[in-house]
Amino acid sequence: MACLQVPAVGEKEVPLLFQNGILKPAGEKELLPRPKKWSLPNIMAPGALNIPNSFIFGGPYEDEDGELNKTEDREFRIQAESMKRIVWDMERRCYLDPAAVLILQKRIAECQYWPVEVCRMPVVSSSKGKTSKADKGDEDRQIFSHGVAYVNMVPFLCPGVQRIRGAFRVFTYQDSEVLEKGRTKKQQSILRDLRPQVSLTKERPCTPGISSPLSRAVPSKAQREEKEKSTKEREFNRRTSCAPKIQLSDTALESENTEKFLGLDGQQYAEAGTFLVMEIKLDKALVPKRLREELTKRVKEMIPPRPPLPPRTEGAKKAVEDYHSQVTSIAVAILSEYHDLFGKQLPDQGAIDHQTLEEQKRLLNFELNSSGKYFAFKEQLKYAVVKIVREKYLKTTAFETQEQFQAFLSELYVYLVDQMHVALNQLLHEEAASPAPLTRMTAEQLWLFAHEAEGNKDYKLAALYHQQRIAQDKHNTQYWLDYGAFCLLLEDNTKAQECFREALSLDPHHVRSLLLCGIVAVVLQHYEEAEIFFEDACCLEPSNVVAWTLSGLFYELQNNNIQAEMAFREAKKQLQAQLARERSISEGKRGKKHIAAAYVRSTSPGPEQLLPEGAPDGSASRLPEALEEPALACPAPEEEAPASEAAPEGPPPISGLSQPSCTIFMKAVEFLMKFKAIQFVHMALAHELLAGSSCAYYLALARTYLLKEDLSKCEECLCEAVRIDFMNPDVWALKGHLCYLKRDFAGVKECYERTISFVVDAADMHFVYLRLGSVYLEEKEYGKAKQTYLQACKSSPSCLTWLGVGIACYRLEEMGEAEDALSEANALNNRNAEVWAYLSLICLHVSAQPAPKPQPAGGRQLEAEQCYKYAVKLGLGPSALLQELRAAQQRFGFGNPAL
């Protein structure tokens, strides 16, 4: 039997007793789903104790709340639940009044563990034989195999939690330990107090819901064994005064492992690994959870609504504009027909006389009517006229009299002719030629240029690119998030908050916007708002690992350890489910390849072939059972395949770069680093360090130190990262950035060249190419510089990459290629003073050389002078380049208007 207590009014507690546990033999699996049973005695009708619409469904071990829910416990659980075990399958219900609910909350907060006692008590003999009082006293006192399981009730203090289900280890009962961990103030066991009330008869009924003959036979055999064993136990106890220990488990569901059914060792539960599987469910959560609608309403209150979009131009105005466009189109078509028939009349040929015009008009009308084009023009114009009638004159029904119809036609005709003249006047009016359209950079280019400017610490230029990106599309959420992340980098938290809230106003259900709003609220110490943002994100996307992890970090910051623990636990569960899905997909792909390869190698038909004869091509998608992933809706852990039958995993990746972030905290770090939320990064990395340092941990920590320009600590982290994973290109790239900031060019070349030589690229190769190319230019290795910058232009072209190509070509005296590269750089950014300076140098050198074709007077000299003016205007200050440019101007005698 098993027993636990629930609080009631005052100090009194109500015991819930589960009796008549059934011993199940080894090898017999429990069916899932199976009905739960009422705990009522002496009911013989089969199935009468089944609770309607109440079943035991089981589920994956990883989703449980108990102790044995880790991946390494899976094989043990599968083996244990197929061995000898004791099963109740009972459900007990009780009512908690408001006072009892408060007591329950208080006791859970004081001590998180709730003791559930299990024991074996002797059957009371139903014979009329007389028994001595001493025997009766002994019999009353005997409690065999007394154990206790400690159920962690803390999840009930989290908002919205109504259910706890899981496996809990059973320990030997000791009063001191129960008093220390439990909540009862009594000095002895609950079961000892209940002994006078417990009445187990020898001829107890076949326990509820068992219909098969085998199931009936098992309890009766157990009863016979039980009587014999209890007699032996009583005799032994009279001699040694030592109560033997037995193993039991489970109050609401099932139990396990009675391998050593009778033993004298008090550590038998620990040796056998006994555990108790039980479920506690509340009708209403102890701590109510805010509804999703309420969270959405609160978020809307904090984020001001955006102004409505301007209405689309429809109605009468649009109908008239359509009529004008149709008139213009028909007029152009008629003019084209006229030119085909009579040719174009040039202005210097003089005016055409009236008689000739009338003849041309007659011939044109004949051509239009005879070819059917006149009818086509009428049909083209008809729809536009109908829209004017409906939208402007609101005529949608038939006219009552013919007079009204004729009056309306006259009015409509006058209006259509007037509008036709308006359209024709607009067509024949000569307008100035429209200027050439400006080159519009794409959003991806603008993001690259902003990222490049951030890396070079040109924050003013980076802000300009971010603003240009938003100006192109103000309704794109990602553009606002990127600009907000840039503001976080500059520690302009108020502006970052505006950007993130603008993104959230565009899409109230955007999870990343909610998380970033919560992060900025924490930075600004608006903790109530932050809690709403994090809670709404978890509610909108319950499978989001990052959302649960950031919520846990926030609760930890608030010293709310209970909710922090629950959030981390939910994040780990979602991450395990995500990795399981990815593993299933990868194993499925490998299985398909393996089947296809085996089928190709097969040369003769036979029963051993993997594909049946005449099977369609789609049959290759059916995998062997060993390769198939168990269904996600599998109701019971007992039905899952053992770990030994699972498909073998693929070979491990070569370096840490290709390995996914296997912890919830590294997943959060990736998100936080992308949006420059450094405060939360350090909190997540602290948790990651407790789990064990890795290459990804040291790499992320080094990036944070590099952002703060703490070069010594950054170097220490990178040394540890190199020691852990020598083949990680990201580590060497970051180490190259560190050497670049320290002006250690030898180290820069070594690290960057090693990064480029890896098969797998680093996460950000753009700066690797840029900085390595600049080092080559500094050391006058112009050929290598040109090749490096060209690689950058191939992967991510920008003004600086083409500028590097232009400089390298100029130093190699390849003036044509240099000018082309600099022209491309100027097209991407015409406000770079260095580009204009090198263009001026090229013009100076080219103008001094004999040209193969005659050049216009002062052509290259004028270009050299204009390029020099732009370079000075855009801020080309005193530098070696400016001195070189002025020296060339002195040598050639032009290019500087001051000369």
pLDDT of residue 213: 34
DSSP state, residue 658: S
The pair of three-digit structure tokens given for residue 821, joined into one six-digit string = 């590269």
pLDDT of residue 11: 62
- Note the pLDDT tens digit of each residue in 786-796: 999 999 999 99
The CA distance from 740 to 292, in Å, is 50
Strand order in the sheet with 50-56: 50-56, 34-38, 90-91
Exposed/middle/buried for residue 642 (C-beta within 10 Å: 0-12, 13-18, 19+): exposed
pLDDT band of 599, cuts 50, 70, 90: very low
- Bridge-based pairing state of the strands 50-56 and 34-38: antiparallel
pLDDT band of 713, cuts 50, 70, 90: very high
In the block, tokens 């639940």 appear at 81
Q: Which has the higher per-residue pLDDT, 183 or 564?
A: 564
Percent of the chain scored above 70 by pLDDT?
A: 75
Transcribe 851-895 into DSSP letters.
Answer: PSSPPPTTHHHHHHHHHHHHHHHTT--SSHHHHHHHHHHHHHT-S
- Note the pLDDT tens digit of each residue in 820-864: 999 999 999 999 999 999 999 999 888 766 555 545 445 688 888
pLDDT of residue 206: 37
The pair of three-digit structure tokens given for residue 273, joined into one six-digit string = 């690994």
Cα–Cα distance list, 70 to 67, 78, 633 (Å): 8, 13, 19
- Indicate the range of 308-317, 417-426, 520-529 predicted with least confidence: 308-317
pLDDT of residue 435: 52
Q: Given a cut of 60, is residue 602 above it in pLDDT?
A: no
Exposed/middle/buried for residue 490 (C-beta within 10 Å: 0-12, 13-18, 19+): middle
pLDDT of residue 202: 40
Q: What is the mean pLDDT of residues 735-744?
A: 93
pLDDT band of 546, cuts 50, 70, 90: very high
- Note the pLDDT tens digit of each residue in 775-817: 999 999 999 999 999 999 999 999 999 999 999 999 999 999 9
pLDDT of residue 349: 64
Cα–Cα distance list, 799 to 170, 775, 794, 885 (Å): 69, 18, 13, 21
Q: Given a cut of 80, is residue 634 above it in pLDDT?
A: no
pLDDT of residue 258: 37
Q: How many residues does the chain have?
A: 899
The CA distance from 565 to 575, in Å, is 15
Q: Given a cut of 80, is residue 439 above it in pLDDT?
A: no
Cα–Cα distance list, 85 to 250, 256, 596 (Å): 10, 4, 45
Q: What is the mean pLDDT of residues 327-337?
A: 88
Q: Given a cut of 70, is residue 633 above it in pLDDT?
A: no
Bond from prior residue into 854 cis (ω within 30 degrees of 0):
no
Q: Given a cut of 70, is residue 636 above it in pLDDT?
A: no
pLDDT of residue 57: 80
**Mean confidence (pLDDT) of the chain:** 77
One-letter amino acid of 469: R
Instruction: Report yes or no on whether pTM surpasses 0.75.
Output: no
Q: Which has the higher per-residue pLDDT, 842 or 318?
A: 842
pLDDT of residue 253: 38
pLDDT of residue 140: 52
- Note the pLDDT tens digit of each residue in 23-82: 888 877 777 788 888 877 777 677 778 888 888 887 777 778 878 877 788 888 888 888
End-to-end Cα separation, the chain, in angstroms: 107
The pair of three-digit structure tokens given for residue 253, joined into one six-digit string = 């569901």
The CA distance from 798 to 791, in Å, is 12
- Note the pLDDT tens digit of each residue in 668-692: 999 999 999 888 899 999 999 888 8
Q: Given a cut of 70, is residue 156 above it in pLDDT?
A: yes
Q: What is the mean pLDDT of residues 466-485?
A: 93
Domain ranges of the chain: 2-122+143-195+264-281, 290-338+370-425
- Note the pLDDT tens digit of each residue in 565-593: 889 989 998 998 888 888 888 777 777 66
Q: What is the mean pLDDT of residues 198-209?
A: 42
Q: What is the mean pLDDT of residues 2-15?
A: 77
